[in-house]
């Protein structure tokens, strides 16, 4: 059974989706690869109290690591990439090539990029922490401006907490 709610954030509304009470989606407005609204299930904020609390703490600058149970639905390769994303420390970045090498396949940077772009739980699974080989920003389902703002926030260059 799927349920969803929408919460406010410094990056605009975030749609949280849960299946059987476990977070399986976090989508920004106008996000690339955002599933159709009709797949989100009934509107019900109850399953999202902990997720909303942790997101608020993150945006306040008080939470560095999310401890939410997650349901990451995708191919075996995608899930492996998404688990690797969760290992990137707060405020740090990795290149697609570094992630591919960490997965034991240095030639798979393009496949890593494609899997990264399909991440269903943005921010919590920090796909925004992945950059191009040259150190520049490349693709982000939520838009490059949001990616830059998230990175600046985590690096402490955004000024103050966002919430």
Q: Is 127 a catalytic residue?
A: yes
CATH 1.10.10.10 residue ranges for the chain = 76-154
pLDDT at 59 over 80: yes
- Of the candidates 127, 130, 131, 150, the residue annotated as catalytic is 127
Domain 76-154 falls in which CATH fold? Arc Repressor Mutant, subunit A (1.10.10)
pTM over 0.95: no
**Can you tell me the distance from the alpha carbon of 95 to that of 99, in angstroms, rounded to the nearest whole number?**
6
Label residue 74 exposed, middle or buried (CB < 10 Å: 0-12, 13-18, 19+).
middle
- Which architecture, in CATH terms, is 2-59? 2-Layer Sandwich (3.30)
* Sign of the CA dihedral running 116, 112, 90, 135: negative
pLDDT, one tens digit per residue, over 78-126 is: 999 999 999 999 999 999 999 999 999 999 999 999 999 999 999 999 9
CATH 3.30.160.70 residue ranges for the chain = 2-59
Three-state SS annotation for 78-139: HHHHHHHHCCCCCCCCEEHHHHHHHCCCHHHHHHHHHHHHCCCECCCCCHHHEECCCCCCCC
């Amino acid at each position: 059974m799927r349920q969803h709610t929408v919460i406010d954030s410094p990056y605009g509304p975030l749609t949280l989706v849960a299946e059987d009470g476990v977070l399986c989606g976090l989508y920004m407005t106008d996000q690339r690869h955002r599933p159709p609204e009709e797949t989100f299930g009934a509107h019900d904020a109850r399953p999202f109290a902990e997720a909303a609390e942790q997101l608020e703490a993150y945006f306040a600058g008080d939470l560095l690591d999310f401890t939410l149970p997650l349901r990451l639905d995708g191919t075996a390769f995608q899930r492996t990439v998404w688990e690797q994303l969760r290992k990137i420390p707060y405020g740090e970045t990795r290149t697609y090539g570094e992630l591919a090498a960490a997965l034991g396949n240095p030639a798979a940077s393009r496949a890593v990029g494609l899997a990264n772009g399909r991440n269903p739980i943005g921010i919590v699974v920090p796909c925004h922490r992945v950059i191009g080989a040259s150190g520049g920003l490349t693709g982000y389902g939520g838009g490059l401006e949001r990616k830059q703002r998230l990175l600046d926030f985590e690096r402490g260059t955004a000024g103050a907490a966002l919430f």
